[in-house]
Amino acid sequence: MKRIKIVLLLGAIMWIAMAMSSCTRIDAACEGIKVNLYGSDKGVDDVVLVTGMVWFNPLTEEVYEYPTYVQMVDYEPFEINAKDGSKFVVDPTININPIAGKAATIFKKYRKPLDEVIHDVLRTHIVNAYRIKLNSYTTDELVSKREEFERVTEDYLREVLAKENFELGEMTSGLKYPATLEASITAKNQAVQEALRIENEVAAIEAEAKKRIAEANGEATALKIKADGEAYYNRTVSASLSNTLVQMKALEKWNGVVPLVTTNGNGGVFLDLNKIIK
Protein backbone atom coordinates (compact mmCIF):
# COMPACT_ATOMS: atom_id res chain seq x y z
CA MET A 1 0.00 0.00 0.00
CA LYS A 2 2.84 2.33 0.88
CA ARG A 3 4.48 1.62 -2.48
CA ILE A 4 1.30 2.53 -4.32
CA LYS A 5 1.17 5.86 -2.54
CA ILE A 6 4.75 6.57 -3.45
CA VAL A 7 4.08 5.78 -7.11
CA LEU A 8 1.00 7.99 -7.16
CA LEU A 9 2.93 10.80 -5.51
CA LEU A 10 5.73 10.57 -8.05
CA GLY A 11 3.20 10.53 -10.88
CA ALA A 12 1.51 13.60 -9.49
CA ILE A 13 4.84 15.39 -9.19
CA MET A 14 5.75 14.51 -12.80
CA TRP A 15 2.36 15.64 -14.04
CA ILE A 16 2.71 18.94 -12.23
CA ALA A 17 6.24 19.38 -13.61
CA MET A 18 5.07 18.66 -17.13
CA ALA A 19 2.10 20.99 -16.71
CA MET A 20 4.41 23.73 -15.52
CA SER A 21 6.88 23.29 -18.36
CA SER A 22 6.11 23.60 -22.09
CA CYS A 23 8.21 24.13 -25.18
CA THR A 24 7.56 25.86 -28.48
CA ARG A 25 9.64 26.64 -31.50
CA ILE A 26 9.84 30.15 -32.96
CA ASP A 27 9.94 30.09 -36.75
CA ALA A 28 12.98 31.61 -38.48
CA ALA A 29 10.77 34.24 -40.17
CA CYS A 30 9.33 35.34 -36.83
CA GLU A 31 10.31 36.91 -33.54
CA GLY A 32 9.15 35.28 -30.32
CA ILE A 33 7.95 37.19 -27.26
CA LYS A 34 7.82 35.51 -23.85
CA VAL A 35 5.54 37.33 -21.43
CA ASN A 36 5.48 36.92 -17.64
CA LEU A 37 1.83 37.02 -16.59
CA TYR A 38 2.15 37.04 -12.82
CA GLY A 39 4.55 37.82 -10.01
CA SER A 40 6.89 40.64 -9.20
CA ASP A 41 8.32 40.65 -12.74
CA LYS A 42 4.98 41.55 -14.33
CA GLY A 43 5.12 45.04 -15.81
CA VAL A 44 7.27 46.93 -18.28
CA ASP A 45 10.11 44.45 -17.96
CA ASP A 46 8.00 41.30 -18.33
CA VAL A 47 8.48 40.96 -22.11
CA VAL A 48 11.50 39.09 -23.47
CA LEU A 49 12.48 38.67 -27.14
CA VAL A 50 13.22 34.97 -27.83
CA THR A 51 14.12 32.83 -30.86
CA GLY A 52 14.45 29.14 -31.67
CA MET A 53 13.28 26.60 -29.04
CA VAL A 54 11.63 28.31 -26.08
CA TRP A 55 10.76 26.68 -22.73
CA PHE A 56 8.10 28.35 -20.65
CA ASN A 57 5.66 27.76 -17.85
CA PRO A 58 2.17 27.80 -19.38
CA LEU A 59 0.64 28.65 -16.00
CA THR A 60 2.57 31.88 -15.56
CA GLU A 61 3.99 32.69 -19.01
CA GLU A 62 2.79 33.10 -22.57
CA VAL A 63 4.76 33.06 -25.82
CA TYR A 64 3.65 35.13 -28.80
CA GLU A 65 5.04 34.79 -32.31
CA TYR A 66 5.34 37.95 -34.42
CA PRO A 67 5.99 37.32 -38.15
CA THR A 68 8.68 39.64 -39.49
CA TYR A 69 8.06 38.88 -43.16
CA VAL A 70 6.06 41.22 -45.39
CA GLN A 71 2.32 40.73 -45.20
CA MET A 72 -0.20 42.01 -47.71
CA VAL A 73 -3.21 43.40 -45.86
CA ASP A 74 -6.49 44.21 -47.60
CA TYR A 75 -8.47 46.52 -45.35
CA GLU A 76 -12.22 47.04 -45.42
CA PRO A 77 -13.30 50.09 -47.48
CA PHE A 78 -14.17 53.34 -45.71
CA GLU A 79 -15.53 56.75 -46.74
CA ILE A 80 -13.63 60.05 -46.56
CA ASN A 81 -14.87 63.53 -47.48
CA ALA A 82 -12.93 65.72 -49.85
CA LYS A 83 -12.28 69.40 -49.18
CA ASP A 84 -15.51 70.38 -50.96
CA GLY A 85 -17.61 67.73 -49.19
CA SER A 86 -17.71 65.03 -51.88
CA LYS A 87 -17.57 61.50 -50.50
CA PHE A 88 -14.79 59.22 -51.71
CA VAL A 89 -14.40 55.53 -50.93
CA VAL A 90 -10.91 54.32 -49.99
CA ASP A 91 -10.23 50.58 -50.29
CA PRO A 92 -6.56 50.31 -49.29
CA THR A 93 -4.22 47.38 -49.73
CA ILE A 94 -0.74 47.60 -48.16
CA ASN A 95 2.39 45.53 -47.71
CA ILE A 96 3.69 45.83 -44.17
CA ASN A 97 5.98 44.13 -41.66
CA PRO A 98 7.37 44.84 -38.17
CA ILE A 99 10.82 46.40 -38.16
CA ALA A 100 13.38 43.72 -37.26
CA GLY A 101 14.02 43.49 -33.53
CA LYS A 102 10.98 45.62 -32.62
CA ALA A 103 8.43 42.88 -31.92
CA ALA A 104 8.85 43.15 -28.12
CA THR A 105 8.50 46.95 -28.29
CA ILE A 106 5.29 46.64 -30.29
CA PHE A 107 3.88 44.12 -27.81
CA LYS A 108 4.78 46.23 -24.79
CA LYS A 109 2.82 49.12 -26.27
CA TYR A 110 -0.32 47.28 -27.35
CA ARG A 111 -0.35 43.93 -25.48
CA LYS A 112 -2.00 42.26 -28.47
CA PRO A 113 -1.09 39.60 -31.03
CA LEU A 114 0.37 41.05 -34.23
CA ASP A 115 -2.73 40.28 -36.31
CA GLU A 116 -4.88 42.39 -33.99
CA VAL A 117 -2.37 45.22 -34.02
CA ILE A 118 -2.32 45.28 -37.82
CA HIS A 119 -6.08 45.03 -38.35
CA ASP A 120 -7.20 47.25 -35.46
CA VAL A 121 -4.52 49.71 -34.39
CA LEU A 122 -2.84 50.26 -37.76
CA ARG A 123 -6.17 50.56 -39.55
CA THR A 124 -6.94 53.58 -37.39
CA HIS A 125 -3.65 55.20 -38.43
CA ILE A 126 -4.41 54.43 -42.10
CA VAL A 127 -7.91 55.92 -41.95
CA ASN A 128 -6.54 59.06 -40.26
CA ALA A 129 -3.78 59.41 -42.86
CA TYR A 130 -6.27 59.32 -45.73
CA ARG A 131 -8.64 61.64 -43.89
CA ILE A 132 -5.91 64.24 -43.32
CA LYS A 133 -4.56 64.16 -46.86
CA LEU A 134 -7.80 63.73 -48.79
CA ASN A 135 -9.41 66.63 -46.90
CA SER A 136 -6.81 68.96 -48.38
CA TYR A 137 -7.93 68.26 -51.98
CA THR A 138 -11.09 69.29 -53.82
CA THR A 139 -12.91 66.84 -56.07
CA ASP A 140 -11.45 68.39 -59.23
CA GLU A 141 -7.95 68.28 -57.75
CA LEU A 142 -8.33 64.60 -56.85
CA VAL A 143 -9.18 63.92 -60.48
CA SER A 144 -6.37 66.01 -61.96
CA LYS A 145 -3.78 65.37 -59.21
CA ARG A 146 -4.52 61.74 -58.37
CA GLU A 147 -0.87 60.69 -58.62
CA GLU A 148 0.27 63.51 -56.33
CA PHE A 149 -2.39 62.60 -53.75
CA GLU A 150 -1.31 58.95 -53.75
CA ARG A 151 2.35 59.93 -53.28
CA VAL A 152 1.90 62.40 -50.42
CA THR A 153 -0.46 60.04 -48.59
CA GLU A 154 1.99 57.17 -48.89
CA ASP A 155 4.90 59.30 -47.65
CA TYR A 156 2.88 60.54 -44.69
CA LEU A 157 1.65 57.06 -43.77
CA ARG A 158 5.17 55.64 -44.01
CA GLU A 159 6.36 58.12 -41.37
CA VAL A 160 3.41 57.37 -39.10
CA LEU A 161 3.88 53.60 -39.26
CA ALA A 162 7.64 53.89 -38.73
CA LYS A 163 6.89 55.53 -35.37
CA GLU A 164 4.81 52.44 -34.59
CA ASN A 165 7.84 50.25 -35.50
CA PHE A 166 6.35 49.04 -38.77
CA GLU A 167 7.83 49.24 -42.25
CA LEU A 168 5.47 50.15 -45.09
CA GLY A 169 6.06 48.60 -48.50
CA GLU A 170 3.90 49.03 -51.58
CA MET A 171 0.36 50.31 -51.16
CA THR A 172 -2.68 51.17 -53.24
CA SER A 173 -5.54 53.37 -52.11
CA GLY A 174 -8.25 51.82 -54.25
CA LEU A 175 -9.73 55.31 -54.38
CA LYS A 176 -13.23 55.34 -55.84
CA TYR A 177 -14.88 58.54 -57.05
CA PRO A 178 -18.48 59.51 -56.16
CA ALA A 179 -21.13 57.90 -58.38
CA THR A 180 -22.09 61.22 -59.99
CA LEU A 181 -18.48 61.99 -60.79
CA GLU A 182 -17.92 58.48 -62.16
CA ALA A 183 -20.92 58.99 -64.46
CA SER A 184 -19.59 62.38 -65.55
CA ILE A 185 -16.13 60.97 -66.25
CA THR A 186 -17.64 58.05 -68.17
CA ALA A 187 -19.78 60.41 -70.27
CA LYS A 188 -16.78 62.63 -70.95
CA ASN A 189 -14.66 59.66 -71.98
CA GLN A 190 -17.42 58.43 -74.27
CA ALA A 191 -17.74 61.89 -75.81
CA VAL A 192 -13.99 62.07 -76.36
CA GLN A 193 -13.96 58.60 -77.91
CA GLU A 194 -16.91 59.50 -80.16
CA ALA A 195 -15.18 62.72 -81.23
CA LEU A 196 -12.03 60.78 -82.01
CA ARG A 197 -14.05 58.25 -83.99
CA ILE A 198 -15.73 61.00 -86.03
CA GLU A 199 -12.41 62.77 -86.50
CA ASN A 200 -10.86 59.56 -87.78
CA GLU A 201 -13.80 58.99 -90.13
CA VAL A 202 -13.53 62.56 -91.48
CA ALA A 203 -9.79 62.12 -91.94
CA ALA A 204 -10.42 58.87 -93.78
CA ILE A 205 -13.03 60.53 -96.03
CA GLU A 206 -10.71 63.47 -96.72
CA ALA A 207 -7.87 61.11 -97.50
CA GLU A 208 -10.10 59.14 -99.88
CA ALA A 209 -11.27 62.36 -101.54
CA LYS A 210 -7.69 63.54 -101.96
CA LYS A 211 -6.83 60.18 -103.42
CA ARG A 212 -9.66 60.40 -105.95
CA ILE A 213 -8.77 64.00 -106.83
CA ALA A 214 -5.18 62.97 -107.33
CA GLU A 215 -6.30 60.08 -109.51
CA ALA A 216 -8.61 62.36 -111.52
CA ASN A 217 -5.89 64.96 -111.94
CA GLY A 218 -3.56 62.25 -113.05
CA GLU A 219 -6.05 60.95 -115.60
CA ALA A 220 -6.81 64.49 -116.84
CA THR A 221 -3.14 65.25 -117.20
CA ALA A 222 -2.61 62.00 -119.06
CA LEU A 223 -5.50 62.76 -121.42
CA LYS A 224 -4.23 66.29 -122.03
CA ILE A 225 -0.79 65.00 -122.79
CA LYS A 226 -2.30 62.44 -125.13
CA ALA A 227 -4.51 65.04 -126.82
CA ASP A 228 -1.64 67.50 -127.17
CA GLY A 229 0.46 64.75 -128.68
CA GLU A 230 -2.24 63.79 -131.15
CA ALA A 231 -2.81 67.44 -132.10
CA TYR A 232 0.88 67.97 -132.62
CA TYR A 233 1.03 64.84 -134.70
CA ASN A 234 -1.92 65.93 -136.81
CA ARG A 235 -0.46 69.41 -137.34
CA THR A 236 2.88 67.97 -138.37
CA VAL A 237 1.33 65.45 -140.71
CA SER A 238 -1.00 68.05 -142.16
CA ALA A 239 1.84 70.45 -142.83
CA SER A 240 3.89 67.81 -144.52
CA LEU A 241 1.06 66.39 -146.59
CA SER A 242 -0.71 69.58 -147.69
CA ASN A 243 1.38 70.13 -150.87
CA THR A 244 1.18 66.48 -151.76
CA LEU A 245 -2.58 66.43 -151.24
CA VAL A 246 -2.97 69.50 -153.51
CA GLN A 247 -0.96 67.83 -156.26
CA MET A 248 -2.92 64.63 -155.84
CA LYS A 249 -6.21 66.51 -156.15
CA ALA A 250 -4.90 68.28 -159.30
CA LEU A 251 -3.87 65.00 -160.85
CA GLU A 252 -7.27 63.53 -160.07
CA LYS A 253 -8.91 66.39 -162.04
CA TRP A 254 -6.33 66.47 -165.00
CA ASN A 255 -7.63 65.24 -168.35
CA GLY A 256 -4.20 64.35 -169.67
CA VAL A 257 -3.85 67.37 -172.04
CA VAL A 258 -0.74 69.50 -171.59
CA PRO A 259 -1.61 73.20 -171.90
CA LEU A 260 0.24 75.11 -174.68
CA VAL A 261 -0.34 78.52 -173.19
CA THR A 262 0.65 79.59 -169.74
CA THR A 263 1.11 82.78 -167.87
CA ASN A 264 4.32 84.27 -166.62
CA GLY A 265 2.84 85.43 -163.32
CA ASN A 266 2.72 89.07 -164.44
CA GLY A 267 -0.42 88.78 -166.49
CA GLY A 268 1.43 88.04 -169.73
CA VAL A 269 0.62 85.05 -171.92
CA PHE A 270 3.18 83.10 -173.93
CA LEU A 271 3.48 79.88 -175.86
CA ASP A 272 5.43 77.00 -174.36
CA LEU A 273 7.54 76.02 -177.38
CA ASN A 274 9.00 72.96 -175.64
CA LYS A 275 5.57 71.53 -175.28
CA ILE A 276 4.73 72.34 -178.87
CA ILE A 277 7.89 70.66 -180.14
CA LYS A 278 7.22 67.57 -178.07
Tally of CB atoms within 10 A around 255: 4
Tally of CB atoms within 10 A around 32: 22
Which distant-in-sequence residues (6+ apart) come within 8 Å of 118 by Cβ?
Answer: 71, 73, 96
Q: What's the rounded Cα separation, in Å, for the pair 157 and 169?
A: 11
Looking at residue 204, what is its pLDDT?
81
CA angle (200, 204, 205) in 5-degree steps: 120
pLDDT per residue, tens digit, the chain (278 aa), is 666 655 455 555 555 444 445 777 777 788 888 787 775 545 545 666 666 677 767 777 778 888 888 999 999 999 999 998 889 999 999 999 999 888 888 988 888 889 999 999 999 999 999 999 999 999 888 888 999 999 999 999 999 999 999 999 999 999 988 776 655 656 666 667 777 778 887 888 888 888 888 777 777 787 777 777 777 766 776 666 566 666 666 666 656 665 555 555 555 555 454 554 45
Contact in structure between 227 and 234 (CB atoms under 8 Å): no
Contact in structure between 36 and 42 (CB atoms under 8 Å): yes
Looking at residue 242, what is its pLDDT?
61
Which distant-in-sequence residues (6+ apart) come within 8 Å of 24 by Cβ?
Answer: 32, 53, 54, 56, 63
